[in-house]
């Protein structure tokens, strides 16, 4: 991944820390933000399928992908907020997934 991603996740964590603090309540809100973003991705997919007959088709696959990117980036900020290096954690996750692909 591009270095900008990791730098931006660290910078976002620092910005949130400065604005909102670093206590357990703030960390809880950052983790809950993942659920909010995942819900937006799910709503966008429902919109792609036109599952809500009142609304019809309301989203594109590109919009779903953008929402999923929001989920991924929010997760990186949450990992950094735990005091861990998001790049190292994601790399370890990818390595673990790689062993299961064989």
pLDDT at 1: 54
Q: What is the mean pLDDT of residues 81-98?
A: 98
- pLDDT tens per residue across span 11-36: 999 999 999 999 999 999 999 999 99
State both tokens at 51: 């599952």
Residue 92 has pLDDT above 80, yes or no: yes
Q: Domain ranges in the chain?
A: 3-99
* 81 touches 33 (CB < 8 A): no
CATH of the domain spanning 3-99 = 1.10.287
Tell me the pTM. Answer: 0.93
Q: What is the mean pLDDT of residues 66-75?
A: 98
List phi, psi (to 5°) of 49: -75, -15
* Block residue for tokens 């790049």: 87
State both tokens at 3: 């270095």
pLDDT band at 68 (very low <50, low <70, confident <90, very high): very high
């Amino acid at each position: 991944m591009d270095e900008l991603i990791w730098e931006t996740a660290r910078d976002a964590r620092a910005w949130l820390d400065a604005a909102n603090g670093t206590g357990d309540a703030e960390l809880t809100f950052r983790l809950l933000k993942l659920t909010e973003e995942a819900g937006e991705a799910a709503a966008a997919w429902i919109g792609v399928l036109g599952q809500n007959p009142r609304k019809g088709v309301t989203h594109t696959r590109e919009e779903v992908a953008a929402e999923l990117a929001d989920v991924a980036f929010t997760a990186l900020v949450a990992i950094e907020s735990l005091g861990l290096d998001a790049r190292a954690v994601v790399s370890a996750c990818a390595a673990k997934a790689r062993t299961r692909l064989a």
